[in-house]
Amino acid sequence: MAVIRRLNQHRYFTVHHSKNDRVNIVFTVENKEQIYSALKKSGYGYAKIDEKKIFFLKNTDGVRYVTFFELVRSFGEYLISADLSGVNISNSILFNKYHHQRPLKNNASLRSALSGTLTLEEMQQLRKEIKKSGI
């Protein structure tokens, strides 16, 4: 087991630098909670509409249905462009670790963190999209 020489804590991931300068990027429970919070602040949500469990994105254009994979891709795109100057790793290495470790899973923790309220109009809009797409 490598001895940890330095630990860089970022809001969305943790970097361990071992004695032999090996870098290990992990997504802790706390990091995942921060990711969930960032997604919610970005307008992503989760709701159950007519017995269908869906993810959605709410922004100035209204509300629209999104797949879980769109949600994962969206956060991955954020990591590609994130400022990592204080962490000492490249965006491409972080992005590869993100896709390899898959910290976002379609599980109860994510769904609970993204659960939100929708107005009647937003629910009607999502119902139309669900019906149109055949979900």
Q: What is the pLDDT of residues 44-80, one digit of tens each?
A: 999 998 888 999 999 888 899 999 999 999 999 988 8
* Burial call 8-25: b when 16+ CB within 10 Å, e when fewer: bebebbbbbbeeeeeeeb
Phi, psi of 7 (to 5 degrees): -125, 120
Could you tell me the pLDDT band of residue 83, with boundaries at 50, 70 and 90?
confident
More confident residue, 68 or 86: 68
Please state the domain count of the chain.
Answer: 1
Could you tell me the pLDDT band of residue 99, with boundaries at 50, 70 and 90?
confident
Mean pLDDT of 106-122: 93
Sorted by sequence, the CB contacts under 8 Å of residue 52 that are 6+ apart come out as 130, 135
Looking at the predicted structure, is the pLDDT value of residue 135 above 80? no
Mean pLDDT of 9-18: 78
Could you tell me the pLDDT band of residue 9, with boundaries at 50, 70 and 90?
low
Looking at the predicted structure, is the pLDDT value of residue 3 above 60? no
Mean pLDDT of 13-22: 78
* Domain assignment of residue 126, given as a range: 4-133
Looking at the predicted structure, is the pLDDT value of residue 6 above 60? no
Looking at the predicted structure, is the pLDDT value of residue 31 above 70? yes
CB contact at 8 A, 56 and 117: no
